[in-house]
Amino acid sequence: MNFVVGILFSGIAMIILILIPWVGVGAFDLRLVFGIIVPYLALATFFVGIVLRVINWARSPVPFRIPTTAGQQWSLPWIKPNRIDNPKGTGGVVVRMIFEVLLFRSLFRNTRLEFRKGPKITYEWEKWLWLAALVFHYSFLVIFLRHFRFFLDPVPAFIHILERLDGFLQMGPLPVSGLGVPEVYITDMLLLLALLYLFLRRLYVHQTRYISLPADYFPLFLLLTLGLTGVLMRYFLRVDLTAVKELAIGLVKFHPKVPEGIGVIFYIHLFMLCTLIAYFPFSKLVHMAGIFLSPTRNLSNNSRFVRHINPWNYPVKVHTYEEYEDEFRDKMIEAGLPVEKMPEKAEEGAGAKEEEEKKE
Amino acid sequence: MKLEQLLSQKGPGILGKWLNLALETYPSDAHRFLKKQKDRFANPVGTTIEREIKSLYEELLREIDPERVSPILDRIVRIRAVQEFSPSQAVAFIFSLKYLVRRELEKELRENELFDDLPGFEARVDEVGLLAFDIYMKCREKLYEIRAREARAEVSGLLRKAGMIGMVPVWKAGIEKDNGG
Amino acid sequence: MSDLPKPEDLAKVKHLPPIWKGWMRTPVEIRSGIYCYGSKPANLEYVGMPNPREWSPVDEDWKLPDNWKQIFLDGLRERLEKFRSLKIFMDICVRCGACADKCHFFIGSGDPRNMPVLRAELLRSIYRKEYTTAGKILGRFAGAREMTYQVLKELWYYFFQCTECRRCSLFCPYGIDTAEITILGRELLNLLGLNTDWISAPVANCYRTGNHLGIQPHAYKDMIDFFVDDIEEITGVRLNPSFNRKGAEILFITPSGDVFADPGTYTCMGYLMLFHYLENLGLDLTWSTFASEGGNFGYFTSHEMAKRLNAKMYAEAKRLGVKWILGGECGHMWRVINQYMDTFNGPADFLEEPVSPITGTKFENAKTTKMVHITEFTADLIKQNKLKLDPSRNDNLVVTFHDSCNPARGMGLLEEPRYIIKNTCNHFYEMPDTTIREQTFCCGSGAGLNAGENMELRMRGGLPRANAVKYVHEKYGVNMMACICAIDRAALPTLMEYWVPEVGITGVHELVGNALILEGEKERKTDLRGEPLPGMEEEEEEENV
Ligand code: SF4
Ligand code: SF4
């Protein structure tokens, strides 16, 4: 797949996806469909899809214990083991997983900070991928949580705190302050920046450009559109928030109704979200669930002192010592090696036949 | 101004372009890695070529001394001798310097009327290129040699001395029995 | 001047495939110097592997059964059901590229298919086509492709360009282990009889004679007897190792490479001397001519073959009635022992929890496998002050240590060998941090790739390792690299000869053998290799005169 085709393909898919609610709501006024039916369908797809996917994974057993060991094993008492990178028990695994899931530790390991070039030391920070990934995921999480203010009434205190923290760094009036820009959320900006970086990196780094599929560009575009429509709504094309909240709470309480007066931009935003969650279980985005099941990270390196059972272990054909001795008995005796059976007790025919075979 | 002066003045620019030419002989997807990863342990190919090509350029500004030039060439060519290159591909980037200089320095060469000095420089490039070819051949010979040696060393010298070699069954397919082609 | 050739054209000689073409549409050519010869029919027949026939990888026709595609796809489906790892690794890669430049084969060649992620995509694309809806409908747009003869050849070519070293998995945010994918990929190829001879021959040998080289019992014993003679010549002490002895306390198993190929043979002498030294302190150990191989080329064939070859370790321990097993220096042998053996062929309830007869140390970490690594065993001896060592006998060596991939990333055996080296040598220097321990670079010849015909591949794959060695050689004058792997001992001397000829290769227990002061030994003039000891060079010359 060449990357231009990949981007075009995803881009066109994106445009179609934007047009659907635009036309649907704008021209045909299908607010019921896009405000209620699609969200419910998407949610159902998401939950059923994820559950099925995880069940499907879990159906396959873990026959062997194959953690990637990234530190000293636990062996002699005076050698300090690395309990996190080479966990010996569940405790270490839990810490390792926490580091992986919350801090993307393996990704951080990626490159070193310093290198020498000629006589002087130069510094190059090569952890941008790690940073961008971290920024993206955490911004997304915060934004996701902030949105709970639409679904919950009264709004819980922690969401207010989160909003306050997020808006803490007033970025000052934008050039368009005349439109009444509310305080800017840092995470909104960070999310878009991180996404943009991840997209450009995919293009710029030749290796990733070479391996990228439309399925890699598409989620980025989807998230970018989601973020952009959100930002547009918040700062530029204001929508009636009370009405949005009414819709959201209706959805949550299973008393859905579509209030009047919500702009099309909202429906596009909502449709992007629906696409994202419906797409989730069928795409690489399932890495969110998969990381917890990855056998190289979630197992302890204990197979030398705790037996690991393979549920489909089956007997195999082996070459037994008896067969071995039968073949080499005479030579063993000659060399003074102990044998189980002395030749006179062994079947004579067999021995002679083997001798012949060997001569061939 | 002498040609050598000009070349050394314009060294960094020419060198950068020359390095690009050398690295562009690798699959396009690896360029950025080879160029940008400056850690000499994470990227031995790119950093070695970058380092050695610089020394080579300096050597080209004076009389060629094979004693000095060969080790530099060796470090580059030794790598290229085990990569996906035909012999000519492995050393071609050296000759390309001639045309690079003519193209990049055309104006300066004209202004300073240095075109007459060029043949001397170009002859040196050729000499280095030919040296590189020799080294390439040596590296390839080395490959065959170690292949043969390894096949022999497969059996301990001790056992060979003791005449026990026959007791080790032949496992190696052997070099001559190339079932490939 | 316009008629001058463009420098770009000249440097390239041949134009490269344009970036506009994705990898799926760039065909692969199987090149000599890179691929290993195909497996011989007799070797497959002997162990009952499918499709034995004469074939060559460069032939147009690989002589496959008509339903090869079905066999392959059914095999893939079966393995997806059996290995959660495979399923997850097929589904969750986000193609972030973190692993891309971590593979020594990519670093050394720049061949994009040697990026671990792309190596995995080769198989993943088929998985998508067969088992995902998107792949079935969208085809190439979803990264899916049809399984064709050409694709099969590509898989074969690149799964035998991976040393299963797991370096990529260290850097992957989801722990995707391309080594695991290669292992299963090779297993699939083996369903069609597509192994390399360098792997299938040792497998057949090992099955029959107990070791990869096909050494028969009497020869095995004779060889060790030669070492005994040689040691006597050097030290004046006569050793008396025993074989297949019932009732011994410990069974010792080491890769057969140690018994017959230099420089592993010197490591073997080191073991012999250590065991002799410990005899008086209460060691009761036997060698076996049947379990005469620690390594396991079956592991490079299929899980089943690995299990079949591994079985003889416990079987022999049971037959001889020993209490536990001691294992020699070997890489993939220890990955199998650590991560597979008990699961394959356990429980070894006829053995006892290993206890060092000399120090009384309980090896709790080997409670169920009942098998102890010799560097764990020796490190314990040194720590408890049980060995008389004279490290100055290794003073002519400036040593560095190469972590073999398997003990490093499939076990975590990092400090034990270093502790032994530091106690047996006075000059020890580490290579740079990013090239050792868990980040160690492969020798480039692991997983059955240490054949002769693929020398180019080996040399480029080993370049990152050699490059770091060169650095410590130039900086500290390092002239010897220690390792704890028999494949390393076979492959690294060759690698060094090409890249850094000044550096030799040694096993850790060769250093032990040199430093160990045996009871009643004469003044040693040479080390185990017959080279004069430091300070003895002149005497040596005088003798020669
Ligand atoms: S690091 Fe892991 S997720 Fe990223 S490209 Fe490699 S295998 Fe895929
Ligand atoms: S396991 Fe090693 S050889 Fe194989 S792809 Fe990963 S880094 Fe490369």
pLDDT tens readout for residues C433-490: 889 999 999 999 999 998 888 999 999 999 999 999 999 999 999 999 999 999 999 9
Element (H, E) at C324: strand C324-327
Is pLDDT at A195 greater than 90 in this prediction?
yes
C4 lies in some domain: no
In the predicted model, is pLDDT for residue B181 greater than 80? no
Contact C229, C188 (CB under 8 A): no
Beta bridge partners of A121: A116
Query: Counting ligands in written order, which one lies closest to the CA of residue C92?
Result: 1
C524 domain residue, yes or no: no
> How many domains, chain C?
2
In the chain, the amino acid numbered C118 is: L
Grade residue C27 by pLDDT with cuts at 50, 70 and 90. confident
* Residue C273 in tokens: 């001397």
Q: Cα–Cα distance between C421 and A304 in angstroms, integer?
A: 25
How far away, in angstroms, is C179 Cα from ligand 2 center?
6
User: What ranges in C350-454 are assigned the alpha helix state H?
Assistant: 374-383, 405-409, 415-424
* Residue C461 CA neighbour count, 13 Å, CB half: 30
Taking the CB of residue C133, how many other CB atoms lie within 10 A of it? 10
Number of Cβ within 10 Å of residue A125's Cβ equals: 9
Mutate to test the pocket of ligand 2, among C101, C103, C181 (most ligand atoms within 8 A of CB): C103
d(CA B165, CA C222): 12
CB-based burial of residue C244 (10 Å sphere; 0-12 exposed, 13-18 middle, 19+ buried)? buried
Could you identify the residue written with the tokens 């929890």?
C353
What confidence tier does C166 reach under pLDDT thresholds 50, 70, 90? very high
Options 1.20.950.20, 1.10.1200.10, 1.10.1740.10, 3.30.160.100; which CATH number does A2-298 get? 1.20.950.20
When pLDDT is averaged across residues A203-224 and rounded to a whole number, the result is: 87
Q: What is the pLDDT of residue B102?
A: 86
Among residues C35, B85, C402, the alpha carbon closest in space to that of B76 is found at: B85
Q: Do B168 and C464 touch (CB under 8 A)?
A: no
- Which structural domain, as residue segments, surrounds residue C160? 24-195
Contact by Cβ (8 Å): C239, C228 = yes
* Cross-chain residue pair B39–A210, CB shorter than 8 Å: no
Residue B158 pLDDT: 59
Q: Which of C243, C278, C271 is nearest to C257 (CA)?
A: C271
Most confident of A20-29, B1-10, C333-342: C333-342
Q: Which amino acid is at A333?
A: I
φ, ψ dihedrals at B28, nearest 5°: -60, -30
Cβ contacts of C206 within 8 Å, gap of 6 or more: C212, C293, C296, C297, C298, C309
- What's the gap in Å between the CA of B176 and the closest CA on chain C? 10
Q: Please list the residues that pair with A82 across neighbouring strands.
A: none
Same domain, C187 and C211: no
Q: How close are the terminal C-alpha atoms of chain A, in Å?
A: 55
- The answer to whether C125 and C113 have CB atoms below 8 angstroms apart is no
pLDDT tens, position by position, A49-81: 999 999 999 999 999 999 999 999 999 999 999
Q: Which residues of C touch A74 (CB under 8 A)?
A: 365
Contact A124 B38 (CB under 8 A): yes
Helix C463-476 crosses helix C486-499 at what angle (to 10 degrees)? Answer: 70
Q: Is residue C41 domain-shared with residue C71, that is, in the same domain? A: yes
Chain C residues touching residue A13 (CB < 8 angstroms): none
Query: CA–CA distance from A264 to each of A28, A30, A256, A267 (Å)?
Result: 11, 11, 18, 5
Query: Is C538 part of any domain?
Result: no
Task: Kindly state whether residues C205 and C124 are assigned to the same domain.
Answer: no
Question: Of A52, A211, A354, which to mutate for an interface test with C (greatest number of C Cβ within 10 Å)?
Answer: A211
Rounded to 5 degrees, what are φ and ψ at A75? -135, -95
Whether residues C173 and C272 share a domain: the answer is: no
Evaluate: CB of C88 within 6 angstroms of ligand 1.
Answer: no
- C182 ligand 2 Cβ < 6 A: yes
Count how many residues are written for chain C. Answer: 545
Q: Check if the beta carbon of residue C256 is closer than 8 Å to that of residue C292.
A: yes
pLDDT digits over A140-180, tens only? Answer: 999 999 888 888 878 888 888 888 777 765 444 444 443 44
Same domain as C432, residue C303: yes
CB C176, CB C93: distance < 8 Å: yes
Residue C534 and residue C542 in contact, taking contact as beta carbons nearer than 8 Å: no
Q: Is C215 within 8 Å of B169 when comparing Cβ atoms? A: yes
Does pLDDT of C294 surpass 50? yes
Considering only CA atoms, which residue is closest to atom 4 of ligand 2? C162
Question: Whose C-alpha lies nearest to ligand 2, atom 5?
Answer: C116
The answer to whether residue A205 neighbours chain B at the CB level (below 8 Å) is yes
Question: Is the pLDDT at C46 greater than 60, yes or no?
Answer: yes
Q: Determine the Cα–Cα distance for residues C247 and C315; give it in Å rounded to an integer.
A: 14
The residue whose CB lies within 8 Å of the most ligand 1 atoms, and thus the one to mutate among C101, C102, C123, C176, is: C176
- Domain range summary for chain A, segments of one domain joined by +: 2-298, 321-359
Buried/exposed code over A234-258 (b: 16+ C-beta within 10 A; e: otherwise): bbeeebeeebbbbbbbbbeeeebee
Q: How far apart are CA A3 and CA A11, in angstroms?
A: 12
Number of CB pairs < 8 Å for A and B? 25
Q: Which of A310, A317, A337 is the closest to C308 by Cβ? A: A317
CATH top-level class of B3-139 = mainly alpha
Average pLDDT over residues A229-243: 84
C181 lines ligand 2 (CB under 6 A): no
Ligand 2 atom nearest residue C102's Cα = 7
Is C237 near ligand 1, meaning CB less than 6 Å away?
no
Full DSSP string of A333-353: HHTT---SS-TTTS-HHHHHH
Strand order in the sheet with C480-483: C399-401, C480-483, C504-507
Q: Are residues C142 and C221 in the same domain?
A: no
**Considering only CA atoms, which residue is closest to atom 3 of ligand 2?**
C162
Which one, of C296, C505, C325, C244, lies nearest residue A337 by Cα? Answer: C244
Cα–Cα distance for residue pair C469/C251, rounded to 1 Å: 35
* Cβ–ligand 2 contact at C129 (below 6 Å): no
Pairing of strands C324-327, C371-373: parallel
Give the best residue of C88, C111, C131, C243 to mutate against chain A (max A CB count within 10 A). Answer: C88
Interface of C with A in 391-410 (CB under 8 A): 408-410
Q: How many residues in total does chain A contain?
A: 360
Instruction: Say yes or no: C179 and C315 in one domain.
Output: no
Domain ranges of chain B: 3-139
* Closest-CA distance of chain C to residue B4, Å: 20
Which residues have C-beta within 8 Å of that of residue C339, sequence separation ≥ 6? A64, A65, A66, A303, C410, C411
Does residue C541 fall inside a structural domain?
no
Closest alpha carbon to C71 in C49, C46, C45, C42: C49
**A304–chain C Cβ distance below 8 A for any pair:** yes
- The reply to whether ipTM tops 0.90 is no
Q: Average the pLDDT over B8-37 and give the result.
A: 84
Long-range contacts of A43-47 (CB under 8 A, 24+ apart): A43/A277, A45/A277, A45/A278, A45/A281, A46/A277, A46/A278, A46/A280, A46/A281
Kindly report, residue by residue over C217-238, the tens digit of the pLDDT.
Answer: 988 898 899 899 999 999 999 9
Tokens of A114: 């310093």
> For position B25, what pLDDT does the model report?
84
Model's pTM, two decimal places?
0.88
Does the pLDDT of residue A216 top 70, yes or no?
yes
The 3-state DSSP class for residue C362 equals strand
Say how many CA atoms lie within 13 Å of C500 toward its Cβ. Answer: 22
Query: Does ligand 2 lie within 6 Å of residue C103's CB atom?
Result: yes
A205: chain B residues, CB-CB within 8 Å: 32
Q: Are strands A114-117 and A120-123 parallel, antiparallel or unpaired?
A: antiparallel
Ligand 2 atom, smallest distance to C106 CA: 8
Q: Are A64 and C343 in contact (CB under 8 A)?
A: yes
Do C262 and C133 belong to one domain? no
* Alpha carbons C179 and C161: distance in angstroms, whole number: 11
CA distances from C419 to A224, A341, C243, C332, C430 (A): 53, 45, 30, 21, 13
Residue A206 token pair? 């030749």
Helices (H), ranges, chain B: 3-9, 11-23, 31-36, 44-60, 66-80, 87-104, 106-111, 118-153, 157-161
C-alpha–C-alpha distance, residues B35 and B38, integer Å: 7
Distances (CA, A) of C523 to C69, C235, C278, C446: 67, 7, 20, 39
